[in-house]
Structure 1
Amino acid sequence: MAGRLAVRVAGALVTAAVLLTGSTALAIWWTARQDARPDSDAIVVLGSAQYNGVPSSIFEARLEHALRLYEDGVAPRIVTVGGRAAGDEFSEAEAGRQYLAEAGVDEDALLAVEEGVDTLESMRAVGAEFDDRGWQTAVLVTDPWHVLRAERMAEDAGITASSSPTRQGPAVHTRTTQFRYILRETAAYLLYRATGESVAGAPGIG
């Protein structure tokens, strides 16, 4: 009897884990397909790799998307985010700010938050900047598969967040790439919800 009960409990736990993982992956896929761009205090661009001040292709796709949102009047300012890796001369945030300034965005409309080696640290730093300035709302710009976790972390940092994900760049080129990112984000999101911690990994989505 005890053995059968143990088997049933184990089976129920496995089933619950499978359902939780599947529903989270589905939520990531569904959220990635949305595009919300309400009038907001700021557009927040999540950082990614940069090379001597030149944004990587992933980062450039995000910056170009943020630029279009800014030109469309979604928000009066753009916040670039991301710290400096060991040995780097530029932070991700500064590389992004410089790119947008060269694209014609007024310097007064740009804020570089040069903190964070992953999304969680970055969103907490952005939340502190928003609090200092009395800002509340943001449109997040990142890769589609990163949206659900980024929004959750932003909300936990005190920001009322929507997302307008990029539709270009390496993160969305092939179905194989998309599937890999969804799997990784599913694990990362579940880890964050369970422990409140982030995970290091692919550029710009830790």
Structure 2
Amino acid sequence: MSANTKSSGKGRKTNFAGRLLRDLILLGLLVTAGWFGWVYHEIQSTAHVDNAQHADAIAVFGAAEYAGRPSPVLHARLDKAVSLYDRDIAPVIVTLGGGSDKDSGKTEGGVGRDYLLAQGVPFDHIIAETHSFDTEQQVARLKEIAESQHFDKIVVVSDGTHLFRIQLLCERAGLDTYTSPREVIGHLDDMDAAQRMMHEMLSYTALRFNLHISWLHRWLAGKGD
């Protein structure tokens, strides 16, 4: 076999390998784009539909509290829970969320309970969970409460973009839930809205595929739940 023939054969193999690698990269990009397009659509769909219906309890997922007062986001979530309670959607409201390293003993669940009491919800119609620190822990504690109180169906209240991930966590925990987004407050600029959506898309993807990537978890933790 001549040197030119050998060189031509190697060239064809190199070209084939290059085309195969290019096609695999393109396929990977298409699959990734399709996946995130689907996740975006599902997050948006869940965020804009109120599925609340008669249930055994309403669960309010925690958000920041400031020295014993609910943050605007937590305020809006609690107001949504009160409106559902007043419509007789469920007889009990569960407030979820512990404290942070920066506060002085206050908890999101406790602040939520105090706010509900001020809105006229009876004390014995409120269950305050005060030990969880993220969405996953809140779902785990909600499952414990549901089992101890024999709750069959629960309406979960949070930010609209948060609910698709919450729904998956609740399904995995064996909880039967209806999603109910809080009212939108103020105006999110495009950058903030994009960051929140990216946070939820990555969080859902990591959860869905059981990814344990340290840098991703650190980044998500920095963005909050």
Q: Shared fold (TM-score greater than 0.5)?
A: yes
Q: CA contact under 8 A between 1:40 and 1:74: conserved in structure 2?
A: yes
Name the larger-Rg structure: 2
What do the CA deviations read for 1:36-91 (whole angstroms, capped 9, x no partner)? 11111110001000012110011001001100000000000000000111242111
Counterparts of 1:124 and 1:201 in 2: how far apart (Å)? Answer: 21
Structure 1: gaps spanning 5 or more residues: none
Q: Aligned letter for 2:206? A: L
Q: CA contact under 8 A between 2:59 and 2:94: conserved in structure 1?
A: yes
Of 16, 19, 26, which residue of structure 2 is paired with 1:4?
19
What do the CA deviations read for 1:156-180 (whole angstroms, capped 9, x no partner)? 122111111012325xx23624333
Q: CA contact under 8 A between 1:29 and 1:182: conserved in structure 2?
A: no
Q: Is the aligned partner of 1:152 residue 2:168?
A: yes
Residue matched to 2:152: 136
Higher helix share: 2
Q: Aligned letter for 1:128? A: E
Counterparts of 1:94 and 1:158 in 2: how far apart (Å)? Answer: 26
Q: Is the aligned partner of 1:50 residue 2:28?
A: no
Residue matched to 1:200: 221
Q: Aligned letter for 2:209? A: A
Q: Output the aligned Cα RMSD.
A: 1.6
Counterparts of 1:192 and 1:167 in 2: how far apart (Å)? Answer: 26
After TM superposition, which residue ranges in structure 1, 4 or more long, deviate above 4 angstroms? none
Residue matched to 2:84: 69
- Paired residues, what number? 202
Residue matched to 2:114: 98
Q: Shift of the alpha carbon at 1:105?
A: 0.3
Q: Is the aligned partner of 1:120 residue 2:136?
A: yes
Counterparts of 2:201 and 2:114 in 1: how far apart (Å)? Answer: 33
Q: Aligned letter for 2:62? A: G
Counterparts of 2:194 and 2:93 in 1: how far apart (Å)? Answer: 30
Counterparts of 1:32 and 1:107 in 2: how far apart (Å)? Answer: 30
Q: Shift of the alpha carbon at 1:21?
A: 0.9
What do the CA deviations read for 1:70-124 (whole angstroms, capped 9, x no partner)? 0000000000000111242111100001110111100010001112211111111
Closer, same or farther: CA 201–38 of 1 in aligned 2, 3 Å? farther
Q: Is the aligned partner of 1:161 residue 2:177?
A: yes
Task: Name the SS for the 1:47 alignment partner.
Answer: coil
Q: CA contact under 8 A between 2:199 and 2:223: conserved in structure 1?
A: no
Residue matched to 1:83: 98
